[in-house]
Amino acid sequence: MIKTTALSNGIKIVTENISHAHSVSIGIWVKAGSRYEKREEQGVSHFIEHMLFKGTGRHNAFDIAKVIDSVGGFINAFTGKEYTCLYVKVLKEHLVLAVDLLKDIFLNSLFAPEDIEKERSVIVQEINMIKDTPDEYVQELFNAAYFSGHPLGYPILGELETIQGLDKKNLLAFFTEEYLQPQHIIIAAAGNLEHEQLLHEIGDSFAGLELKPAAASSGSFVPQKAVHFNYRKLEQVHICIGTIGLSQLDPRRYALYVLNALFGGSMSSRLFQEIREKHGLAYSVYSFITSFLDTGLFGIYMGVRKEAARQALSLAHREIGKLKLEKIDEQELQSAKEQLKGNLLLSVESTDNRMSRLAKCEIYYDKYIPIEEVVSEIDAVTREDIQDVSNMIFSNDYLNYTFLGPLKEKNIPAKILSIN
């Protein structure tokens, strides 16, 4: 059963009781992330995430880890473009301990200057690690190029120069303005717990937060066709192709989910079978969807030898063209739907995934969307829907290409960077 309570200051508390579960997962979600950063403070959200584990007046960094380890649970956090989450998963009998720790580190972290300096060094290493991982780094380069000039293009980890410029004043100012804003906070929990029990454990800790004027959100985004070459001496060329996608609120998103599944979302997908299985051009090749409140993108990634780049691009373009010109057959459509439904239903067997789903429904839809409704929407997708969405997103006006590796502009003539 799903229950939701809104505190007087706007904080949402949403729970799902799963009486047969051994565990409970609790998360503090905040509608704050890299999208809401200024250019000069890129990485501040992620920096704050690190600092929430460095100590409070009651718990030092070791205590925070030890408290959860001692009961066999785990604690973690992650930062995204539009939200940040701090969460704990424990056995049901340790709910009180978990909530007490979450409250303390979210509301009472010290942001000690000496800890800030240590974490600055850690984050610099994290940024360098991404740059040393080309299949990840090309996606960061692509994201920056696709959303050029817009905060959605900022790297979540920040840039080396912006990380060096952040201090306690910057961190606390952003934390106070974005994180301690009641209407930005959702407390979600799923597992063997009662809604009223969670309300009791939260107590007045969050009710005391006061509403503040909301910061202005980043403006709208209109994609433009672009090609970017990033030369580096590597064994492979890493390629990202991207085009316009759909927002989290677009009713056509279910058709896009099905399209992604059959096009490049699995080992049986068209892209994987054509480029890897039939031609042996890539070990890793797939398509992906990224959706936000008001926009989105559809992308393709592949890592190939320099000599195979043209052929791989040609094959990808050919498969895109087929989607636009030919209706898929009914069997392929049903297979993609079953894959999506299977992945969805298997994912909600864990309390942490169910907790995440509760929070994301509140963030994007301001209500809970039952699994049964999602399954029904997937089942309703038609062959015509797939073709319509294909023709909408796969336009030469929107195509973006990012290359990372031993490739230069002269190696890829502009005429082949388009869909026929």
Cβ neighbours, 10 Å, residue 130 = 15
- And the tokens for 43? 């990485």
Judge contact between 5 and 199, C-beta under 8 A.
yes
Amino acid in the structure at residue 326: E
* Residue 305 φ/ψ, nearest 5 degrees: -65, 150
Q: How far apart are CA 27 and CA 167, in angstroms?
A: 27
Q: Which two tokens stand for residue 224?
A: 């433009």
Tell me the residue type at 318: R
Q: Which residues have CB under 8 Å from 38's CB, separation 6+?
A: none
- Class of residue 385 by CB neighbours under 10 A (exposed 0-12, middle 13-18, buried 19+): middle
Q: Pairing between strand 23-30 and 185-191?
A: antiparallel
Residue type, 111: F
Q: Which secondary structure element, helix H or strand E, spans residue 237, and what is its range?
A: strand 237-244
Angle CA 316–322–325, to nearest 5: 140
Report yes or no: 317 and 310 within 8 Å, Cβ to Cβ.
no
Q: Using only the alpha carbons of the chain, give its radius of gyration.
A: 23
CA dist., res. 273 & res. 280, Å (int): 9
SS3 381: coil
- Provide the token pair at 330: 């009914």
Tell me the HSE value of 65 on the side-chain side, using a 13 A CA sphere. Answer: 4
Q: Is 49 tagged catalytic?
A: yes
**Nearest residue to 133 (alpha-carbon basis) of 165, 153, 157, 162:** 157
Token duo for residue 213? 């004027």
Number of residues written out for the chain: 420
Task: State the catalytic residue, choosing from 37, 41, 49, 362.
Answer: 49
Task: Report the catalytic residues.
Answer: 49
